[in-house]
Amino acid sequence: MHPDQIDDLNSGFVQELLAEYLASPEAVDPAWRELFESNPDLVLEHLPLARRLRELYPDGVPGGNGAPATVPAPAEAPTDVLLGAVAAAMSLVKAHRTHGHLAAHLDPLGAEPIGDPALDPDRLEPRLTPELQARIPASVLRLHLPVETLAEGLPRLRETYCGTMAYELEHISSHEQRLWLRDAIESSRYRQPLPAEEKKALLERLSEVEGFERYLRRAFLGQKQFSIEGLDVMVPMLDEAIELSAENGARRVVIGMAHRGRLNVLAHTVGRQVDAILREFEGERLLEAVATDLESGSGDVKYHLGAEAVRQTEAGEVTVTLTSNPSHLEYVDPVVEGETRASQTDHGSATGDHDPDAALAILIHGDAAFPGQGVVAETLNLGGLAGYTTGGTLHVIANNQVGFTTDPDEGRSTRYSSDLAKGFDTPIIHVNADDAEAAISAIRLAMAFREEFHHDVVVDLVGYRRFGHNEGDEPSYTQPLMYKLIEEHPTVREQYARALAELGLVTPEEAEGLVQEVQERMRTVHEELKASFVSSGRRKERRIGRGADAQIDTAVPAERLRELNDLLLAVPEGFQVHPKLAKALERRRDALGEEGGIDWAQAEGLAFASLLVDGTPVRLTGQDTERGTFSHRHLVLHDYATGEKYAPIQHLPVAKAPFQVYNSPLSEAAALGFEYGYSVAVPRALLLWEAQFGDFVNSAQVIVDQFIVSGLSKWGQSSRLTLLLPHGYEGNGPEHSSARLERFMQLAAQENVRIVNCSTAAQYFHVLRRQALHPKGRPLVLLTPKGLLRLKQATSYLDELAKGGFRAILDDPRLDADEKGEVGRLVLCSGKIYYDIAGHEAFGGAEGVAVARLEQLYPFPVAAYDELLSRYPSLTEVVWTQEEPQNMGAWRAIRHRLEEGLPEEVDLRYVGRPWRASPSEGYPTAHSLEQDRIAREALGAF
């Protein structure tokens, strides 16, 4: 029942239930209990209970579970006054749980909290005097504090919710999670004072963090290090998170973060050797790399580099990975999630079991970037999805209270930088970065919640940035008042050392000595490093290597393909396939016969199945991927009567590796970033992401530019992620025609990627298998068709899958060697436009014309192109033909390649759409006219 539904007819019933609730909350139905607890105004409205309560409880209002109250109401105290006080007390407790964070002291720089009137007991009606507070049993208020009355509990309540830690949890829709959090927070289960030895260990860790930054700043004056100072406690927080995850069974922890504090995390959390970090500052690459090999990686700045190391914890060894990332803030988030999901998945069995406790994702966000970058919301949205969940991510907001030079009120519309997470039912723990032990407690609570519910949790670590955005920046130009405070503000290490000195655990001299020891160790390592520069030889360059020339056997025996085809069509007994779909699937049996007819979807399924039986894991995700945007794939079937789902490819009895297929959310950046991260973590797997339409990948351009095509050159990070991008001009307008091939061609260099535009089902089959089996893992951009999916001329025969392999160029199938000797014009095209040309009415009458297809656009198949030209000794011109405008498509990227192979007497011409700002026409009639013109001009039929 909603409070608005209570009227005069049922008010008495509600009053009786309320009386029972106040006597013994557990005796009331949970639904009513939740109603009373979450609606203090309802309690206040139904206070005329004196007569009823006097009848039920003549000796006074009892405590919880039916026991008499510890302090019974005196005879002179009216019961309705006491009841009013109970209702007011309930409202006060709820206010602290809901709004206590507004009165919390979270700012290390001393800004006063704004507070909230609901937290003041003197403003309630009736006024909660100390006498009344002493009469209200804590058990009636459902407090989880070790107290007997509100009078005892209120100071503890303030300390709990309004101290240097604060919580936002009442927005969570799960009643179970809210109750668990209230109990965990109010009982202080995870906020106990550290033992003496742990206090000293924490001081030592803070000293290492501060000493590291001090040395770098003095040794490399003016160089960018993006110091962690102001958020120093983040390093011991990560230590605690790693230890706790290991206790819970994690074998790997994957961390994603931007530049702020990254070097400190590399040194102390991951354990990268200090000399390696100092080497980056010294610029050894510039000193020793006298010449740059064209096959060498370009590298990246030191505060973008990732690292991985095995860390020893009390529970055993854990691999800690700090993922490489670009300057584009937060785009590493989904990459980390993908890496983590891959580490949680068993790829050695056909079932591919997922264990969320096997790995932990930690994302460290900036306070300006968390609400500002849309990829954060996309990543949070993945957290509860079956194909993407990692069992709860630990989010830590490294809150500097400023974004470069932008104040919070200029950078977000919400009070807190963490508010976005509320929309995903995520608990938020705010903590003052100067309270080191509270920060550790925040991690303990967060990790316990993650272990209990496998849900994301956010820790908002509120600190400051001791220096500017970088060490060469002057922050007081834009935040003069803040930086006056910071200049005078002691570091968290200094504050904690002072506190331990007061406890007699260390002396001030011992505390300062810890920092000096760190700097002295770094100075020694630095001197040894500089001395080694004189005697060392030239650094060996990392080579990217060539990967396009390997010959891969992608054929699969016909008998094996027949067996797999039958298994892909098998469903459980009683499973009802949709009648229309059943007929289409049955045609796949006949397609393996002499008449042929293997279409793209069938070829794809056979390629996947053949890889699974050989032990190669396959994961296919994307928008509407289970069925296919164009209703062609149908890897996942739905029972026509019950709606039950069944994927035959996931039940192959001969499979040795898992097959995963998931419909992705309607987002591109996070979904593609996730698959990239997954592919990096499992390099032997075939990972495919499919866009609904090719140009949808535009929304993931940062992932393409900064990770997929450049990760190998910057970080030595390879991937065989495959992008399936529907492409082709079919009169559907400019938005659904082009996968923006020109952008990928522009990004292709040093054989960093493969770009293919297949024109037959067999070619698709072979290129998928080649991608999975190639010894050199590279991303594959695969332009997939729309209209060709069912075009008979684009189908293939079983023999084409069982023999041969992928061919980078397909010659004109109509002509024999003698006929080719008479050809003067060679039309070279790629993809769907071939069928527009070959199917044109002028095609049959075009004498002396051959039409060939360039199937692989990058790396350009130089040898295959030379061989093609050698078959046409009488050529006078080669005509490159494309659907795309002249400033788009492949033309501008491959023109030099086409020209290099031509004899001087052979001309190169372009036929296609002229230069345009938009990819294609918006009207079907205009499209048809343009396609006709292109085909006629290519064939010379004007």
Task: Tell me the sheet residues that pair with 827.
Answer: 851, 879
Q: Residues 888, 695: contact at Cβ < 8 Å?
A: no
Bridge-based pairing state of the strands 252-256 and 359-366: parallel
Structure pTM? Answer: 0.90
Among positive and negative, which fits the CA dihedral 421, 427, 430, 435?
Answer: negative
Instruction: Say if residue 414's pLDDT is above 50.
Output: yes
User: Parallel, antiparallel, or unpaired: how do β-strands 637-638 and 645-646 relate?
Assistant: antiparallel
pLDDT digits (tens, 9 = 90+) for 253-263: 999 999 899 99
pLDDT tops 80 at residue 378: yes
Alpha-carbon torsion (497, 501, 504, 508), positive or negative = positive
Residues 6+ away with beta carbon under 8 Å from 10: none
Give residue 30's Cα distance to chain centre. Answer: 37
Q: Which residue bears the tokens 């016909």? A: 558
List 311's β-bridge partners, or say none. Answer: 318
Residue 56 pLDDT > 80, yes or no? no
pLDDT exceeding 90 applies to what percent of the chain?
77
The identity of residue 84, as a single letter, is G
**What are the two backbone dihedrals, phi and then psi, of residue 774, each rounded to the nearest 5 degrees?**
-65, 135
Determine the pLDDT at residue 63. 39
Beta strand pairing status for 307-313 and 316-322? Answer: antiparallel
Q: Which residue has the tokens 């950046």?
A: 669
Q: At 286, is the pLDDT very low, low, confident or very high (cuts 50, 70, 90)?
A: very low
Q: CA neighbours within 13 Å on the CB side: how many for 95? A: 20
**Cα 67 to chain centroid, rounded:** 52
Q: How confident is the model at residue 44 (pLDDT cuts 50, 70, 90)?
A: very low
Q: Is the peptide bond before 356 cis (omega within 30 degrees of 0)?
A: no
Whole-number pLDDT of residue 437:
98
pLDDT tens per residue, range 612-631 = 999 999 999 999 999 999 99
The pLDDT assigned to 906 comes to 95
On the question of pLDDT at 423 being above 50, the answer is: yes
Contact 812, 785 (CB under 8 A): no
> Residue 2 to residues 5, 7, 43, 553: CA-CA distances in angstroms?
5, 11, 13, 67
Tens of pLDDT, residue by residue over 516-542, are 999 999 999 999 988 887 655 444 444
pLDDT classification of 285: cutoffs 50, 70, 90? very low
Q: Which residue carries 């390099």 as its tokens?
A: 683
Please compute the mean of the pLDDT values over residues 381-391 and round it to a whole number. Answer: 97
Angle at 14 between CA 79 and CA 134, to 5 degrees: 30
Distances (CA, A) of 770 to 573, 607, 610, 675, 756: 36, 10, 12, 19, 12
**Which residue's structure tokens are 């608005």?**
4
Half-sphere exposure of 830 (CA within 13 A, CB side): 25
Q: Which two tokens stand for residue 835?
A: 């069928």
Torsion of Cα atoms, 581 then 582 then 588 then 593, to 10°: -140
pLDDT tens, 290-314? 334 434 567 888 778 889 999 999 9
Among 246, 251, 182, 176, residue whose Cα is nearest residue 452: 176
Model confidence at 40, pLDDT cuts 50, 70, 90, reads low
Report pLDDT for 519. 94
CA distance 125 to 147: 24
Place of tokens 């309560």: 53
Beta strands in 714-806 (DSSP E): 722-726, 754-757, 780-784
pLDDT at 702 over 90: yes
Q: How far apart are CA 99 and CA 259, in angstroms?
A: 33
Among 569, 640, 574, 556, smallest CA distance to 602 is for: 569
H or E element at residue 416: none
Q: How confident is the model at residue 496 (pLDDT cuts 50, 70, 90)?
A: very high
Kindly report, residue by residue over 72-86, the tens digit of the pLDDT: 333 344 566 777 888
Residue with structure tokens 């004899």? 903
Residue 144 CB neighbour total at 10 angstroms: 18
On the question of pLDDT at 8 being above 80, the answer is no
The token pair at 516 is: 């000096």
Closest by CA to 160, choosing from 116, 198, 139, 190, is 190
Q: Is the pLDDT of residue 942 over 80?
A: no
Residues 744 and 781 sit within 8 Å (Cβ to Cβ): yes
Q: Give yes or no for a contact between 355 and 727, defined as CB atoms under 8 angstroms apart.
A: no
DSSP 8-state assignment for residue 415: S
Instruction: Determine the Cα–Cα distance for residues 604 and 626; give it in Å rounded to an integer.
Output: 13
Beta bridge partners of residue 852, listed in sequence order = 828
Instruction: Give the confidence band of 33 by pLDDT, cuts at 50, 70, 90.
Output: confident
Q: What is the pLDDT of residue 37?
A: 67
Q: Number of C-alpha atoms within 13 angstroms, CB side, residue 315? A: 15
Q: What is the dihedral of CA 596, 602, 604, 605, to 10 degrees?
A: -130
pLDDT tens per residue across span 464-494: 999 988 877 889 899 999 999 999 999 999 9
Helical (H) or strand (E) element with 246: helix 234-247
What pLDDT is attached to residue 53?
40
CA distance linking residue 465 with residue 232, whole number of Å: 10
Element (H, E) at 852: strand 849-854
Q: What is the mean pLDDT of the chain?
A: 89
- Tell me, letter by letter, the H, E, C secondary structure of 629-650: CCCCCCCCEECCCCCCEECHHH
The token duo for 140 is 């009636």
User: Which residues, listed in sequence order, are joined to residue 825 by a DSSP beta bridge?
Assistant: 849, 877
How many whole angstroms separate alpha carbon 541 and alpha carbon 559? Answer: 47
Q: Tell me the H-state helices in 329-435.
A: 332-344, 369-372, 374-382, 408-411
- Retrieve residue 942's tokens: 């004007």
- According to the model, what pLDDT value does residue 292 have? 42
Q: What are the two backbone dihedrals, phi and then psi, of residue 26, each rounded to the nearest 5 degrees?
A: -70, -20
DSSP of 82-119? HHHHHHHHHHHHHHHHHHGGGG----TT-PPP---GGG
Q: How many CB atoms lie within 10 A of CB 30?
A: 10
Instruction: List b or e across 883-910, with b for residues whose CB sees 16 or more CB atoms inside 10 angstroms.
Output: bbbeebbbbebbeebbeebbeeebeeee
Helix (H) or strand (E) holding 735, with range, is none
Indicate whether 543 pLDDT > 60.
no
Rounded Cα–Cα distance for residues 753 and 184 (Å):
50
Distance CA 776, CA 921 (A): 40
pLDDT value, residue 140:
85
Give the whole-number percent of the chain exceeding pLDDT 70. 89
Which is it for the CA torsion 858, 862, 864, 869, positive or negative?
positive
| pLDDT at position 26 | 72
Of the candidates 314, 33, 41, the one whose C-alpha atom is nearest the C-alpha of residue 198 is 314
pLDDT higher at 404 or 235: 235
Q: What is the mean pLDDT of residues 448-473?
A: 93
Q: How many CA atoms lie within 13 A of 179 on its CB side?
A: 8
Facing residues of 458 across strands?
Answer: 395, 428
How many whole angstroms separate alpha carbon 810 and alpha carbon 851? 9
Q: What is the predicted pLDDT for the residue at 23?
A: 61
